[in-house]
Amino acid sequence: MRIGILQPGYLPWLGFFEQMYKSDVFVIYDDVQYDKQGWRNRNRIKTANGVQWLTVPVLVKFEDNHLVNEIKIDNKLNWRKKHLFSIKQNYSKAQYFKKYIDIFEEAYSKEWEYLVDIDIYFILKLAECLGMGDKKIIKSSTLSVTGDRIERLVNICKLYNADIFYEGAAGKNYIDDSHFAKNGIKVEYQDYKHPVYNQLHGDFVPYLSVIDILFNNGDKSLLILANPNLEVNK
């Protein structure tokens, strides 16, 4: 049993969904400390003028310490209208624009109080678009798991009888593999080779939100992002 445990992100990149694809159980780690410099509230899309950031404004001060699921959105700013406009403006000519745009129109028609709610909304919707609607996805905040940073991860793995923990490459900086090994769990680190796929607006740009591959490649998107060396993107 392979498990993936990742913090939620806003319109995550391809590698996020590759980890989901390769996991039997996928846990959204929503009750850990919020990283103000991370990807919880922002991501990138491609435009005719280069890369553009889509950032959800949040009500958090630099010195504050909050859990991911405690972060509130600053709805005094008209960010939803701006994000929807940017997506429509830059992907309206994409082959699969009409197939997916309703998801964004629906999402941005609502006023979201907590960042985690729109993050998870999009994660679930985008997973469904990719063909992973039946994936077992759980929020860590619904689990009764305690311990320090590493112990919590180990205990989540044990809760689902996982013998493989599929971790992002950055985990090498803080994960103690031996702590997992003594609990019968092998740590596999992601070594993601970003695919090159059909894309609008000139030369290929990697490491964008997954919406870029979906609008441009539709039903082939999961096959491309999970098998970057295959010639399936023509």
CA angle 103, 120, 90 (to 5 degrees): 40
CA 51 to chain centre: 18
- Report, as ranges of residue numbers, the positions in the chain whose pLDDT lies below 50: 233
**Hey, what are 162's tokens?**
């996982």
Query: How far are the Cα atoms of 124, 165, 222 from residue 227, in angstroms, in the given order?
Result: 21, 20, 8
Per-residue confidence (pLDDT) for residue 232, from 0 to 100: 56
Phi and psi dihedrals of 127, rounded to 5? -60, -40
**178-207 residue pLDDT tens:** 999 999 999 999 999 999 999 999 999 999
Termini Cα distance of the chain: 34
* CB-based contacts of 119, cutoff 8 Å, min separation 6: 8, 9, 10, 40
Query: How far are the Cα atoms of 89, 152, 188, 189 from residue 175, in angstroms, in the given order?
Result: 42, 12, 11, 10
**38-72 residue pLDDT tens:** 999 999 999 999 999 999 999 987 657 899 999 99
Per-residue confidence (pLDDT) for residue 228, from 0 to 100: 79
Report field, pTM of the whole predicted structure over 0.85: yes
Per-residue confidence (pLDDT) for residue 36, from 0 to 100: 85
